[in-house]
Amino acid sequence: MNEKNVKFLTTGEFAKLCKVNKQTLIYYDQIGLLSPIFKNEKGYRYYSINQIELFYVIDLLKDLDMSLHDIQQYTQNKSPESFLTLMYLKKEEIVKKRQEIEMKEKLIETKIALMEEASQLDFSKITLEHLPEAALYLSRNIEDITDEEFIEVITEFIGELNESQLDTGYPIGGIIKREQVLKGEFSRYSYLYIEQPHLKEGYPYFQAVKGDFLIGYHIGEDKTIHHTYKKLLSEMERLGLALGDYVFEEYVYDTVVKNQKEQYITKIMMQVERNTL
């Protein structure tokens, strides 16, 4: 007994060392994942201190979302080669998860910055501002498509953002060409877009948002946005400005932060230039 007490641990002692309950160890034994070194004639289980490392590896693999069945497959066919292969695989998974977490952190940081900026804005004001160049990732053209095709385009666009990790946390906006605005077709978008502050190789970008812009905010539903456009066009005329090539629209407050459509805020950025006439 003295030799046993020195070299072996009871189920309770080993469970305490592993910081799990006894039932976990009993279950691991039942499924052949981690069995005690021996059982005495009364059925008591005894573990070796050397088994703690195996328990830690099992616990690590569980934390990395490996199923008990797959862990069991490894433990029943252990070898230095298979262990090394498994560790390399898990390392790759951790690197990928870390990249995903870092990307989500950047998304959150961007959304925090945008929301804090919005809290300082006066949505009743129309301002003339100089905006720097920005790269935009565009959807395919949506000028003359049906409602069904529009659903297809936006689904495709969002899928591209997710698959290629192009979702930057900025709002998805819409681009309206000058001719549509002058015709009063304020909701006839040509493209959807999302700003890309950090360019990735191999993707086509639209270089835009550089120059003078008349900026105003529409409060309410999309169906009443024409009232805000008329105010902006009137202010543009008063300032002796001419409409540029594009108008950019994006939500400041939408369904993410407001429950009522009447409280939605849309930012309208009209590209303008000095009227030479």
**How do residues 2-11 score in pLDDT, each as one tens digit?**
444 457 899 9
**First CA to last CA across the chain, in angstroms?**
105
Would you say residue 109 lies in a domain? no
- pLDDT tens sequence across 26-36: 999 999 899 99
Tracing tokens 């950025």 back to the chain, one arrives at 269
Residues 131, 266: one domain?
yes
Domain CATH number, residue 219: 3.20.80.10
- pLDDT for residue 96: 92
Would you say residue 112 lies in a domain? no
What's the pLDDT band for 155 if we cut at 50, 70, 90? very high
Residues 156, 52: one domain?
no
At which of 78, 94, 113 does a domain end? 78
Q: How many domains does the chain have?
A: 2
- pLDDT for residue 147: 87
Q: What is the pTM of this model?
A: 0.77
Residue 138 · residue 157 · CB < 8 Å:
no
Rg (CA), the chain: 31
142, two tokens: 């949506």
- pLDDT for residue 144: 87
Q: Which residues contact 254 (CB under 8 A, 6 or more apart)?
A: 171, 264, 265
Q: What domain range includes position 33?
A: 2-78
Residues 246, 123, 167, 161: is their CA dihedral positive or negative? Answer: negative
Would you say residue 257 lies in a domain? yes
The closest of 20, 4, 26, 80 to 52, measured between CA atoms, is 20
Residues 169, 38: one domain?
no
What's the pLDDT band for 208 if we cut at 50, 70, 90? low
214, two tokens: 């008349």
Average pLDDT, the chain: 92
Would you say residue 92 lies in a domain? no
> Has residue 112 got a pLDDT over 70?
yes
What's the pLDDT band for 183 if we cut at 50, 70, 90? very high
> Has residue 277 got a pLDDT over 80?
no
- % of the chain at pLDDT higher than 70: 97
At which of 63, 78, 93 does a domain end? 78
Domain CATH number, residue 73: 1.10.1660.10
Residue 15 · residue 47 · CB < 8 Å:
no
